Amino acid sequence: AQSVTQLGSHVSVSEGALVLLRCNYSSSVPPYLFWYVQYPNQGLQLLLKYTTGATLVKGINGFEAEFKKSETSFHLTKPSAHMSDAAEYFCAVSFSNDYKLSFGAGTTVTVRA
Amino acid sequence: DAEITQSPRHKITETGRQVTLACHQTWNHNNMFWYRQDLGHGLRLIHYSYGVQDTNKGEVSDGYSVSRSNTEDLPLTLESAASSQTSVYFCASGAYGTGELFFGEGSRLTVL
C-alpha cells in the first residue's frame, strides 16, 4: 500500500523567504504525485501535479516541485513567500491513474510580516 | 461555470440518527469521491464511484454508505451517526485522464 509522509506539521517563514515543504512517499511502482492547498474554510485546490515526463513541475502562485525517484520525494518550494501563501498544504499520491488519492497529514504554513 | 457543491455546510446531529450529506457536480465527471478530514490524519477516503451504479469502499468506510444513480450526485449516508464521525467531509470529482480532483467546500458534521 502506498503512503505519504509530510515532514513537519507546521512551517513558519518570513515574508520574502524561501518556502520548502517536504513530502516523501512509499511505492513499488511509479506514482502520480500532487500538491494541494487549502485555505481556511475552503476545499482543496490543486497547486501542481507530476504524472510523467519532466521531473520539475511548475504550478500556480509561483510554486514548483521536483520528483526525485531515487529519494522517493516530491518537495514543494517557492522562492519568496507572500502573506497570501498562509494555508495548509497537502501532498498526495495515486497510482495508475485511478484517482484514489492518498494524502499526507498536511503542513500548515504561516507567513510572518 | 462548472462546480461541485456540498450541502449542508454545517450540521449538528445526535448519536444514532441517520444523516445524509449531499454532493452535486456539474463537471460531468465520471469519478466521485468522499473524504473525511481530521486533524493529524489529512484526508482519508471513505467511498468512491467511477460511474453510475458503481460504488466502492475506501479505507474508512465502516458506518457509511453511498449510492450513484446519476452522474451528477453522490450522497453520503451515515446510517447511525456516532461521535467518532464528527469531522469535516469533502466530496471531490475528477475526469479520466487528468489525475486532478476538484473539491467541494466541505460539510462540517458534529455528532453529539
Segment A64-88 shows an average pLDDT of 95
Q: What angle do CA B60, A90, A1 make, to 5 degrees?
A: 45
pLDDT for residue A97: 63
- Check if the beta carbon of residue B62 is closer than 8 Å to that of residue A62: no
- pLDDT value, residue A2: 64
Indicate if the pLDDT at residue B101 is higher than 70: yes
Q: Answer yes or no: is pLDDT of A23 > 70.
A: yes
Is residue A110 within 8 Å of A99, Cβ to Cβ? Answer: no
Which of the four pLDDT bands, split at 50, 70 and 90, describes residue A28? Answer: confident
The answer to whether A88 and A38 have CB atoms below 8 angstroms apart is yes
Residue of chain B whose Cα is closest to the Cα of A43: B105
Report chain A's terminal Cα–Cα distance, integer Å.
41
Return the C-alpha cell found at A16: 520574502
> Looking at the predicted structure, is the pLDDT value of residue A59 above 70?
yes
Confidence of residue A1 (pLDDT cuts 50, 70, 90): low
Minimum Cα–Cα distance from B106: chain A residue: A43
Contacting residues of B for A106, CB less than 8 Å apart: 42
pLDDT at B107 (0 to 100): 97
Nearest CA in chain A to B10: A41
H or E element, residue A40: none
Q: What is the mean pLDDT of chain A?
A: 91
Measure A107 CA to nearest chain B CA, in Å.
9
Tell me: pLDDT of B79 over 80: yes
Residues of B in contact with A36 (CB under 8 A): 103
Q: Are A51 and B44 an interchain contact pair (Cβ–Cβ within 8 Å)? A: no
User: Of A33, A28, A52, nearest to A94 (Cα)?
Assistant: A33
Cis peptide leading into A40, omega within 30 of 0?
no
- Give the model confidence (pLDDT) of B18-62 as tens digits: 999 999 999 999 999 999 999 888 899 999 999 999 999 999 999
Contact B99 A100 (CB under 8 A): no
Average pLDDT over residues A42-52: 91
As a whole number of angstroms, the distance between CA B95 and CA A55 comes to 23
What's the average model confidence in pLDDT over A34-49?
92
Task: Determine the pLDDT at residue B39.
Answer: 84
Which DSSP string corresponds to B20-79? Answer: EEEEEESS--SEEEEEEEETTTEEEEEEEEEETTEEEE-TT-TTEEE--SSSSB--EEES
Cα maximum dimension of chain A: 42
What are the distances in angstroms from CA A5 to CA A22, A74, B10, B73, B102? 8, 10, 30, 32, 22
Task: Specify the pLDDT at position A96.
Answer: 65
**Mean per-residue pLDDT over chain B, rounded:** 94
**Mean pLDDT for the stretch of residues B6-23:** 97
Whole-number pLDDT of residue A42: 86
Rounded Cα gap, residues B99 and B84, in angstroms? 31
In A, what residues contact B, Cβ < 8 A? 4, 6, 9, 32, 34, 36, 41-46, 49, 51, 90, 94, 97, 99-106
Tell me how close the Cα of B92 comes to any Cα of chain A, in angstroms: 9
